[in-house]
Amino acid sequence: MEILAFSLKYLQESEELDWNLLKPDIYATIMDFFASGLPLVTEETSSGEAGSEEDDEVVAMIKELLDTRIRPTVQEDGGDVIYKGFEDGIVQLKLQGSCTSCPSSIITLKNGIQNMLQFYIPEVEGVEQVCQYYVMV
């Protein structure tokens, strides 16, 4: 059996799949993870490439704006925005929670988040969504 899914906290029902057959495998996978002793949340680090001091200042401003103005608003609707990187003027963000399945997430990303970042931080040329896919076999 093969399941392709986003990194989500929930699964969406589909008429094409018999969820009664999938439920034991999903439950077993979750229980195996908890039994492994691995941490539920891991601290992600950047790629480690040394950037200029100016880049460090820009990244600090991006993170501050995300934490103080953008994330609280998105979290009110059950979602979250995670900073993943800044390269060549593009801010890389990961949408989580209700934002991952929301049809308005692209509008939120481009019209809301991108516009605010560009207004306060001229070095920001755009934003892009980073998706992580996992395949369970």
For residue 115, what is the domain's CATH number?
3.30.300.130
Of 91, 99, 95, 94, which is closest to residue 62 (Cα–Cα)? 91
The confidence score (pLDDT) of residue 29 equals 77
Structure tokens belonging to residue 10: 């929930």
Q: Is residue 33 part of a domain?
A: no
The string of DSSP letters for 34-82 reads: HHHT--SS-----------HHHHHHHHHHHHHIIIIIHHHHHHTTEEEE
pTM of the model: 0.57
* Any domain includes 3: no
pLDDT string in tens for the chain (137-residue length): 333 343 444 455 566 777 778 778 777 877 777 787 776 655 554 444 445 556 789 999 999 999 999 998 888 888 888 999 999 999 999 888 766 666 677 777 888 899 999 999 999 999 998 875 544 44
The residue range of the domain holding 71 is 53-135
Provide the domain count of the chain.
1
The pLDDT score that the predictor gives to residue 73 is: 86
